[in-house]
Chain A
């Protein structure tokens, strides 16, 4: 157990005492996004200012004149959350320096989906990371454009059926592999990068806390769940994501100042077919064992490379 481990009881207490994200919003039953938001916001101990990209979270939590946010919250557009947050973070620093702002320094937290991060927001994200703004960017990754009705994104895995990659005699879902955004973000050499998942809440909370403490940009790529888009029972969201982690499809790791570290290692990896098998979006793959085999080979290869990287970094640290 890590020294900076976060206790669930503490998160729950914090939420009871001063909830930052309130109920009554319109996110779907079984949606993973509130798990991401509540865990991250409860784990961060400073005041927070939230910048939200357009997407499910924004739409479902701020229907005028209502709001589910009990912290300062700003939404501008879809592709620019990282740039908006850059402006907020810069303003915070300048106003403090000029004596027009006092009190504890807030953490600027961005929430955006995979569409707003991997695709349309990638340029703004890259710019913000390169400039070194002190912000925690949280991508809730549910592997497609769910808000607009389950269209494919560059985070959608190969073979997944979406409304723009349907399955038919000439098509077996998405033809391309998903983008490795965590690696792209890591290439910016920012202080803190991590992959996390809604199935591992303590791990996510600890990462959120480290991200908030980083002296510069921090990025969390969090695998969420979308029962509607994935074709999974609403009660199974956490289970589905756990299978993504336990199959090593979505490894949990962090990159601290360039050094990779696994934060969770499944005792025995489950086959990728178990992660894929429970989801309607992959149902057609049952008749295509060659696609499943290719996916398993890809996951195995990526896992080997990740483990090698971790071993190299461990050796360097030793």
Chain B
């Protein structure tokens, strides 16, 4: 269950007076919300290939195009591999470029996503996060995003439809920033967010457009008077330096995101900071989660707090670059940290856990929990079970929450 968008807005609005500038609150699914952000951004080129649960995003965008609300072009490519390839060509040519995908489609894009990052192509990708095959499964988890973890792309995760809109609108400003210039994956959990309608507050079109600003490509391929070679062959004498430079650009994205989030807060009254501290004041036992599960976790934290338990939630919106220092600081008072992953790393620790555990090494005990694979519900029961186990014995291996609750024998 995704959390109530209205509550998130109200919480963020407490320290920001701009709520009155919000143009409209509409009932939108996460997919529609992402498509609304794309309509307002009005990108030049949108190469796409259909895959569930991304299809409502590209269908909505196609209607915006057919009905004259946007003025770029879609390229109806024959695969996601070609979608990302066309996107790289288009972005480097000098055009603002966005696409959308999920699951196998993202997997198919991954080869070229690494190249997009290396070629510093600032492509925004809406992702309806979905399990990877096999077995084939169309429902939500984070295994697709984790396959792209080391691609060099920025990765953001939305908690609900509101954030799917907010993050999509903020992503171009981050990834097109001259200090960054990298692709960005903007994740929303498949079906749980992409297909669930919630009230979503939208900026006015002109405000949104002014916030995103014009697309600038200093080294555009189409500048025929200044011919440049893009994508040269790097031998051992150059490859290492190029990769480290690229990695530093992604690290710089954390600071640029902080500026972007501050500007967006002033404009919208909503917070899109790298992490959200939810009731961390005085919290000993803290859950770290990403995506829609964070919404459910907020309800459980409220419930347990009402019973006097010292629990809290740290929600991660920005997974790449991973905001290490911020997380270590926010969890400096924690006595036990539980990390909820919606992906596996068979034979190793799950990805989010590994990241948090390395960040907090020697600081506090960190336990691994896995839930919600292949669209299995992550409900209040799972979160209650997590908090019940947190700080207790065990911790030598991941705890699987909701396993065996599929309803079949």
Determine if B396 is an interface residue (Cβ-Cβ < 8 Å).
no
* Contact present for A74 and B92 (CB under 8 Å): yes
Q: Nearest Cβ in chain B — how far from A254, in angstroms?
A: 26
Q: A86 near B44 (CB under 8 angstroms)?
A: no
Specify which of B89, B222, B225, B232 is in contact with A86 (CB 8 Å cutoff): B89
Of the stretches B111-119, B139-147, B190-198, B203-211, the one at the interface is: B111-119
CB contacts under 8 Å to B, within A31-82, are 47-49, 51-52, 58-59, 62-67, 69-77, 79-80, 82
Verify if B174 is at the interface (C-beta below 8 Å from A): no
Contact between B232 and A71, CB atoms less than 8 A apart: no
Given contacts A85-B89, A88-B90, A64 and B44 within 8 Å (CB-CB) = no
- Pairs of residues from A and B, 5 with the lowest C-beta to C-beta distance, nearest first: A87-B89, A127-B78, A87-B86, A83-B82, A87-B90
Residue B6 at the A interface, CB < 8 A? no
Cα–Cα distance between A49 and B230 once the two chains are bound (Å): 11
Total inter-chain residue pairs, C-beta < 8 Å? 167
A123 CB–B CB distance under 8 Å: yes
Bound complex: CA of A191 vs CA of B40, how far in Å? Answer: 37
**Cβ–Cβ contact B111 & A63, under 8 A:** no
B222 touches A92 (CB 8 A): yes
Near A by CB (< 8 A), chain B positions 225-280 give 225, 227-235, 238, 242
Q: List 27 A-B contacts (CB under 8 A).
A: A48-B224, A49-B93, A62-B229, A64-B233, A67-B232, A71-B227, A72-B224, A73-B228, A73-B231, A74-B221, A74-B231, A75-B233, A80-B81, A82-B82, A83-B85, A87-B47, A87-B85, A87-B91, A88-B90, A88-B222, A91-B45, A91-B91, A92-B93, A98-B71, A123-B79, A124-B79, A126-B78
CA A84 – CA B81 in complex, angstroms? 10
Question: Secondary structure at chain B's binding surface: helix, strand, loop or mixed?
Answer: mixed
B71, B115, B221: the one contacting A88 at CB < 8 Å is: B221
B interface residue numbers (CB < 8 A to A): 44-45, 47, 71-73, 75-79, 81-83, 85-95, 97, 111-112, 115, 119, 221-225, 227-235, 238, 242
If A62-B232, A71-B224 touch, whether A76 touches B44 (CB-CB below 8 Å) is no
Complex CA–CA separation, A41 to B55 (angstroms): 41
CA–CA, A82 to B82, complex, Å?
A: 8
- On whether the beta carbons of A83 and B222 are closer than 8 Å, the reply is no
Rounded to whole Å, the gap between the CB of B44 and the closest CB of chain A is 5
One of B78, B85, B95 near A84 (C-beta < 8 A):
B85
A131 at the interface (CB under 8 A from B): yes
Contacts of B229 in A (CB 8 A): 62, 67, 69, 73
Cα distance, A313 to B119, chains bound together (Å)? 47
CB distance from B99 to the nearest CB of A (A): 10
Residues in B with CB closer than 8 Å to A269 are: none
A93 contacts the other chain (CB 8 A): yes
Assess whether B222 is in contact with A49, with CB atoms less than 8 Å apart. yes
B224 touching A47, Cβ below 8 Å? yes
Contacting B at CB under 8 A, from A198-242, are none
Assess whether B86 is in contact with A84, with CB atoms less than 8 Å apart: yes
Q: Are B232 and A77 in contact (CB under 8 A)?
A: no
Q: Which residues of A contact B82 (CB under 8 A)?
A: 80, 82-83, 86, 123-124, 127
User: Interface residues of A, CB < 8 Å — how many?
Assistant: 49
Contact assessment for B227 and A95 in the assembled complex, using a CB-CB cutoff below 8 Å: no
Of the candidates B79, B222, B229, B235, the one having the most CB atoms from chain A within 10 angstroms of its own CB is B229
A106 at the interface (CB under 8 A from B): yes
Q: How far is the CA of A65 from the CA of B91 in the complex (A)?
A: 22
Docked-complex contact A131 and B227, CB < 8 angstroms = no
Besides the known contacts A71-B227, A87-B85, 8 further A-B residue pairs in the complex with CB atoms under 8 A apart: A58-B231, A62-B233, A87-B75, A87-B90, A90-B90, A91-B91, A95-B95, A131-B75
Q: Scoring A residues 86 to 115 as 1 if CB is less than 8 Å from chain B, else 0, what string do you get? A: 111011111101101101001000000000
In angstroms, how far is the closest chain A Cβ from the Cβ of B89? Answer: 3
- Say which residue of A67, A69, A76, A98 sits within 8 Å of B89 (CB atoms): A76
Known A76-B115, A83-B85; contact A91-B90, beta-carbon cutoff 8 A:
yes
In the complex, A105 Cα to B215 Cα: how many Å? 21
Q: Of B45, B88, B112, B233, which is within 8 A of A63 by CB?
A: B233
| Interface pair B85/A72, CB less than 8 Å apart | no
Q: A67-B232, A98-B71 are in contact. Are A51 and B89 (CB under 8 A)?
A: yes
Among A63, A83, A94, point to the contact of B86 (Cβ < 8 A): A83
Measured between beta carbons, the chain B residues less than 8 angstroms from A51 are 89
If A62-B229, A76-B119, A94-B45 touch, whether A88 touches B89 (CB-CB below 8 Å) is yes
